[in-house]
Copies of this chain bind each other. A is one copy, B any other.
Amino acid sequence: MGEVGQSCEIQIRVRYAECDPMGVLHHAKFLEYFEMGRTELLRRTGVPYRQWEEGGYYFLVARIACQYRAPARYDDLLTLTTTIERITRARIDHSYRITRDGTLICEATSTLACVNRQGRLIAIPERLTRGSAAPD
- On A, residues with C-beta under 8 Å from B are 13, 15-17, 19-24, 26-29, 31-32, 35-36, 39, 48-50, 53, 58, 60-68, 71, 73-75, 119
Contact = CB atoms under 8 A, between A and B. Distances in A.
A71 B119 contact: yes
Nearest to A29: B28
B32 A17 contact: yes
Nearest to A113: B68
A65 B65 contact: yes
Contacts of A32: 15, 17, 28
A62 B58 contact: no
What 5 A-B pairs come out closest when comparing CB atoms? A28-B31, A65-B65, A27-B61, A21-B23, A17-B32
